[in-house]
Amino acid sequence: MPRRRAALAALYLAMFMNILDVSAVNLALPAIREGLHASATELEWVLVIYVLTFAAGLLPFGRFGDVIGRDRVFMWGVAGFSLSSLACGLAPDIGSLVVSRAVQGVAAAMMVPQVLAIVRVIFPEEERGKAIGLFGTISALGAVAGPLVGGVIVSADIAGLGWRPIFLVNIPVGIFSLYGAWRFVPKIRATERVTADWAGTILFAMAITGFVFPLVEGRQLGWPLWCFALMALSAGLGGLFLKLQVCRSANGLAQLLPTVLLSDRKFLYGLATVCAFFSGLAGVFFILAIFLQSGLGLSPLAAGIALAPHPVGVMIGSYLSARLGGRTTGQRVAIGIFILFLGMVSVRLATVGTLLTGVDFLLPLLTVGLGTGVAIAALFQSILARVSGPDAGAGSGVLQAFQQIGIALGIALQGQIFFHVLGASSSPSAYLAAARAALLYPAGIFLLLTLTAVLVMKSQTGRLT
């Protein structure tokens, strides 16, 4: 029992490090822009490249863990994440930082899929539920602590290093996690021969990168014709990826996306909903982190405090969602998305005033968090309920990958709107106008998702309640 608990601590410490890092980096963006003289597009890449490599790696590395051992791949991921964090912290220029972030995303993709898979193996059935439940608690704590820790670190300017300790703090955490995994996590090897779909991995990565790259670079380059050609090509690569999955299925080979899932329209609708959901949600915090500091002049710590109500709201919303007795998952999704829409409208309305402070965003972001918490658990539950036992791992991996694709799209699209309106100006009024324009996107997305959820629910039941 003590060894299992020590193994669990090592696994969840790595997860906490990853989640904390993701949410803390937003607060460092203005400092990174100033310190490395980064353009708006380069600043977007600091976030987007991590999400892209993470999304592209989730599916193959989940399978890779089956091939050579989940404990081994997990430790490689932790080591890679720690070393790439060191490279991020020492980056001499923005290009080096972006490359290091790409490697960090790959390392996270090696690490994350193994965590719950290992927990399921090392804990007996009667203890497994509690151990997995702790995963949600650790994730929530990391999300809550991220903005605050990020704000404290950047504001403290430790040893004159500015934003760099945001990444450097991962090194001792990674060392502790790596030692714990080496010492306490048992060797876990595949019981049968498993193959990896590397061709599918490459096509999947090329398709999503080919679509997102023009969205990030297009504004700065003046939207040349090749941007649209590349997006069209990415659609073709996506079609080729799907065809490859069908061929591999026909030949009895492993697939990144099992074809049985492709024939389930409700599963595909769920993936589209998740992608749209996170495209509306993720970019908001990218925009607000910049606006609160560069537009309103808040310190990183004050900005972190202003953003903290969202993860708190997520925790409360998740608790409430589990207790909406008598409600179907579809009803909970619709309720949560509607609350989210109201929250996004409130965030947008908060920018209408002229004497803004961080306090104006506390209640709106708490509402956004409540909606997120109510909707997301029910949404994931309803999607994974469509997946049979043998495909559960693949279905979960696909779901997480589409979540990351949505995040990348949201940051790219809202970044385009924000920086297009901002232009070359650095005045508070210009930042305010840019934030107002960019925040229309998530409000529109969640209005559309609310209407869609209501229509789908009505078509299935013939009533709304």
pLDDT of residue 138: 77
pLDDT of residue 434: 92
> What is the CB neighbour count within 10 angstroms for residue 427?
10
pLDDT of residue 57: 86
> What is the CB neighbour count within 10 angstroms for residue 126?
7
Is the pLDDT at 445 greater than 90? The verdict is: yes
Is the pLDDT at 366 greater than 90? The verdict is: yes
Is the pLDDT at 177 greater than 80? The verdict is: yes
Nearest partner of 17 among 173, 176, 181, 182, judged by Cα: 173
Q: Which alpha helices (DSSP H) does 251-328 contain, by range?
A: 259-262, 265-290, 300-307, 309-322
pLDDT band at 90 (very low <50, low <70, confident <90, very high): very high
> Do residues 287 and 24 touch, judged by C-beta distance below 8 A?
no
Write the DSSP assignment of 38-66 as a string of letters.
--HHHHHHHHHHHHHHHHHHHHHHHHHHH
Query: How far are the Cα atoms of 79, 163, 191, 336, 340 from residue 139, in angstroms, in the given order?
Result: 20, 23, 30, 20, 20
> What is the CB neighbour count within 10 angstroms for residue 112?
23
Superfamily holding 264-465: MFS general substrate transporter like domains (1.20.1250.20)
The pLDDT tens digits for 219-239 are: 878 888 998 999 999 999 989
The pLDDT tens digits for 153-176 are: 988 888 888 899 999 999 999 999
Burial class of residue 411, CB neighbours in 10 A (0-12, 13-18, 19+): buried
Taking each helix axis as running N to C, give the angle between helix 2-36 and helix 300-307, from 0 to 180 degrees, rounded to the nearest 10. Answer: 130
- Spans of all domains in the chain: 1-187, 197-253, 264-465
Most confident of 28-42, 91-105, 119-133, 429-443: 91-105
> How far apart (Å, rounded) are the C-alpha atoms in residues 289 and 43?
12
Taking each helix axis as running N to C, give the angle between helix 70-89 and helix 2-36, from 0 to 180 degrees, rounded to the nearest 10. Answer: 30
Average pLDDT of the chain?
85
pLDDT band at 150 (very low <50, low <70, confident <90, very high): confident
> How far apart (Å, rounded) are the C-alpha atoms in residues 50 and 441?
22
pLDDT of residue 64: 76
pLDDT of residue 465: 46
Ranges 71-80, 268-277, 356-365: which has the least confidence = 356-365
pLDDT of residue 464: 47
| Structure tokens belonging to residue 298 | 């808040």
pLDDT band at 76 (very low <50, low <70, confident <90, very high): very high
> How far apart (Å, rounded) are the C-alpha atoms in residues 239 and 354?
49
> How far apart (Å, rounded) are the C-alpha atoms in residues 209 and 125?
40
Within the chain, what is the greatest distance between any pair of CA atoms?
65
**Domains 1-187 and 264-465 agree in fold:** yes
The CATH number assigned to the domain with range 1-187 reads: 1.20.1250.20
Is the pLDDT at 461 greater than 60? The verdict is: no
pLDDT of residue 343: 93
Is the pLDDT at 258 greater than 80? The verdict is: no
pLDDT of residue 140: 67
The amino acid that residue 236 corresponds to is G
Share of the chain above pLDDT 90, in %: 25
Is the pLDDT at 131 greater than 80? The verdict is: no
Is the pLDDT at 463 greater than 60? The verdict is: no
The pLDDT tens digits for 185-212 are: 888 765 556 666 788 888 988 998 888 8
pLDDT band at 147 (very low <50, low <70, confident <90, very high): confident
Ranges 22-36, 246-260, 297-311, 365-379: which has the least confidence = 246-260
Q: What is the mean pLDDT of residues 106-111?
A: 92
pLDDT of residue 393: 62
Q: What is the mean pLDDT of residues 282-307?
A: 89
**Nearest-5° Cα angle at 439, 436 to 442:** 165
189-221 in b/e burial notation, b at 16+ Cβ within 10 A? eeeeeeebbeebbebbbbbbbbbbbbbbbbbee
pLDDT band at 178 (very low <50, low <70, confident <90, very high): very high
